[in-house]
Amino acid sequence: DPFENGLFSLSRTAVIIFRDGNRNVVKKERYGVLESDEIYKKIIAKEEIDISNCYVKNFSLSDFREK
């Protein structure tokens, strides 16, 4: 499902479930899925990056610096 928060939209949504020590569900949150390559492109282009309400997969500044 696409993710929409009023400021931006992303093509995928991650549902993150937070649990307490007894594995009871405390809350569920929906986040837009943002791939690390998209962030790397924005860094290179010196664009503003807003990762609020996003789940970022495999982001590493070390990996970015090696590219």
Note whether residue 49 is domain-resident. yes
Q: What integer pLDDT is reported at residue 28 of this predicted model?
A: 97
**Count of domains in the chain?**
1
Burial grade of 66 (CB within 10 A; 0-12, 13-18, 19 or more): exposed
Domain span holding position 7: 3-59
Of all helices (H) and strands (E), which one includes residue 64?
A: helix 61-66
Distance CA 11, CA 13 (A): 7
Are 6 and 23 a contacting pair, CB within 8 Å? no
Note whether residue 43 is domain-resident. yes
Predicted TM-score (pTM) of the model is: 0.71
Note whether residue 67 is domain-resident. no
Tokens of 25: 């569900």
Note whether residue 20 is domain-resident. yes
Per-residue pLDDT of the chain (67 residues; tens, 9 = 90+): 899 988 888 999 999 999 999 999 999 999 999 999 999 999 999 999 988 899 998 899 998 998 7
